[in-house]
Structure 1
Amino acid sequence: MKDIFNLLKQGSKSSLIASIVNFIIAGLKGVAFIFTANVAMFAEMMHSLGDAINQLFVYIGSSLSKKAPTERFPFGFGRLVNLVCLFAIIVVAILSYETIREGIHHIVEPLPTETDTTMLLINIGVLAIAAILESFVLYKAGKEVLEQAGQPYGGLKPLTSSFVHLSRAKPATKLVFMEDTVATAGALLAIIAILIARFTGFAPSEGIASVIIGLMMFYIVYRVFMENAAGVLGEHDPHMEERISQIVLRHDAIEDIRKLFVLKEGDNLHVEVVAEIDPDLTSREVNDIRNEIEKIIMEQKHVTDVNMEFELNDGKRTWPETQNEMDQKPGQDA
């Protein structure tokens, strides 16, 4: 039991916070829907419930993925977070379908527009609270995105620059950020639909909002499925490969890189490098070079292991030069 609690402590905090917040929001929306029978509120309730379930699964998966390698699973459990996300997204897909179906039903057969001011205030109030809470989680997730991407995250940057660097975030953080972006937008859209129905008498507006919210949920389903399917299969990380190549080529003794591959497994990165060196180097010098470079690589975020091998320089350029060989290696003339 102690081991389980230790693993849970290492899980994605943003996923846990987002899950708790979304369960609370789903409850508020559910109560509002019971009192008002508002279809836009129903769509928002389903959306929040789907997000809460998904983010809870992600939190559990991200925790278990930190489990140390065993004899049976020597490469660890890094991809478990991707498997859990794939399972959780099925739930969200079902909720997305129900949201769209309910929306279409109310477009075809719209309910009479609610004229009771109290009911209107309940709907608007609950959705406004939801939008505020969702934006808080979105800001926190955006901050984590920028932190993981090595970017400044002060001021409003988590709500603006995060979209540019989203691809470099951890799977769990990326999921929370995408879901809460849609959740915040969905709450605002539902408010607009309710106001349109109330003051213009256009009752289908709520059904239209429900369909749009459901389609946004399906977009999240698509993105999460594609990214985590790639994670389960094992994909390379081009950004980190470029960074690792710069580290390797910066060393005086490295003539070229014959092979470099960075494999992503959940939050973990596994690095494989085959570099070319001068044939006159001694075994002791080669070991010192390996230790020095591997130490720097292991200091990079999310890198869990490095396998570095050497081949003799064949005189042919294999790896493309980057940034003028990092502004030229120390000791070289311009």
Structure 2
Amino acid sequence: MAHGGGTKAIVAALAANLGIAVTKFIAYLLTHSSSMLAESVHSLADSGNQALLLLGGRRARRAADARHPFGYGRERYVYAFIVSIVLFTLGGVFALYEAWHKWEDPHPIDAWQWVPVVVLVAAIVMEGFSFRTAIHEANPLRGSQSWTQFIRRAKAPELPVVLLEDFGALVGLVLALGGVSMTLVTDDGRWDAAGTACIGVLLVIIAIVLALETKSLLLGESATEQDVDAIEAALVGEGVRSLIHLRTLHLGPEELLVAAKIEMAPTATAAEIAAAIDAAEQRVRAAVPIATAIYLEPDLRHKAVEPRSAG
């Protein structure tokens, strides 16, 4: 299974969000719509998030050194976690504050009434293109998994982040369009505030999901079931009788640590054991190319002692 970072999807989302953020903010200045302000801040936060994901991917490519002998692959997880915090604060919490402020002091959209509708429809089209790009990038990696399974199991955080951000942006735009439209029809600014509140709740939920999933990656996740099965099958072969136990840990999306205890023949010489270990490592790397660090401990399988019968 590939573990791509979806750079094309990140760049597409960044370009779309920068253009959308500027357009929404101009619409807010003209109409003073709280939904437009919340959406412009949301798009600006998303743009910053995509920049963070690109920065994390670049820093993760640094070579291993004495202080970090396993490399910097987990930097991608760190920056993805920062993204969830930015989305929660700048996106969700700000939108909820703006909704409360507008509800306390509601006012209709008196000028440039057509502007927010046109801007939101155009934003839906641009965001839809970004979402389509993310889906196209994710489909080869997703395979037969459902979207929920893909987001929960993906080891590369970038695509799940972009997918959730784009999905949240599209739903948020529809909510904003509903709030603005009802405000224009009824001349009641509380519809605008309600749309803004719904956007805030949506972004908070997405941010929490991202934080929980990224936290799991930061703590250290094992290899996927498919990779574990492939490693177990590859370890047993010439000179290796059986697998006693296996531990795996993702050092980064494309870097996997493999530690295993393997059973050797009781009569094997040191040279035969060394040759068997080298061959096993080659088989594992051929089966799972992201297995960059492999540590194998030769051992003998000890029979369990039969308990004595009472009496």
Counterpart for residue 29 of structure 1? 24
Q: TM-score, normalised by structure 1?
A: 0.77
Specify every segment of 5 or more residues in structure 2 that has no aligned partner in the other structure, as ranges: 305-311
Counterpart for residue 148 of structure 1? 141
Given candidates 91, 102, 106, the residue that maps to 1:106 is 102
Given candidates 31, 52, 60, the residue that maps to 2:55 is 60
1:152-191 residue pairs with structure 2 within 5 A? 161-169=146-154, 170-191=156-177
Q: Quick check: 1:241–1:261 contact (8 Å CA) kept in 2?
A: no
Q: TM-score, normalised by structure 2?
A: 0.83
Q: State the Cα deviation string for residues 59-106 of structure 1 (Å, max 9, x = none).
A: 101111011101232111112222233334443332121111101222
Query: Please, which moves more after superposition, 100-109 or 302-311?
Result: 302-311
SS of residue matched to 2:62: coil
What's the offset of the Cα at 1:275? 2.3
Counterpart for residue 266 of structure 1? 252
What's the offset of the Cα at 1:53? 0.6
Would the alpha carbon gap of residues 243 and 123 (structure 1) be closer, same or farther in structure 2, given more than 3 Å must change? Answer: farther
- The answer as to 2:58 corresponding to 1:72 is no
How far, CA to CA, are the matches of 1:132 and 1:304 in structure 2?
42
Query: Please, which moves more after superposition, 30-39 or 132-141?
Result: 132-141
How far, CA to CA, are the matches of 1:132 and 1:196 in structure 2?
21
Would the alpha carbon gap of residues 263 and 93 (structure 1) be closer, same or farther in structure 2, given more than 3 Å must change? Answer: same
Counterpart for residue 50 of structure 1? 45
Aligned-residue sequence identity (percent) comes to 25
How far, CA to CA, are the matches of 1:204 and 1:131 in structure 2?
23
Query: How many residues are matched?
Result: 296
What's the offset of the Cα at 1:45? 0.9
Given candidates 212, 216, 241, the residue that maps to 2:198 is 212
What's the offset of the Cα at 1:137? 2.0
Aligned-CA RMSD value: 2.8
Q: Quick check: 1:193–1:205 contact (8 Å CA) kept in 2?
A: yes
How far, CA to CA, are the matches of 2:243 and 2:159 in structure 1?
33
SS of residue matched to 2:250: strand
Specify every segment of 5 or more residues in structure 1 that has no aligned partner in the other structure, as ranges: 1-9, 153-159, 317-334
Counterpart for residue 41 of structure 1? 36
Q: Quick check: 1:26–1:49 contact (8 Å CA) kept in 2?
A: yes
How far, CA to CA, are the matches of 1:236 and 1:301 in structure 2?
15
What's the offset of the Cα at 1:147? 2.5
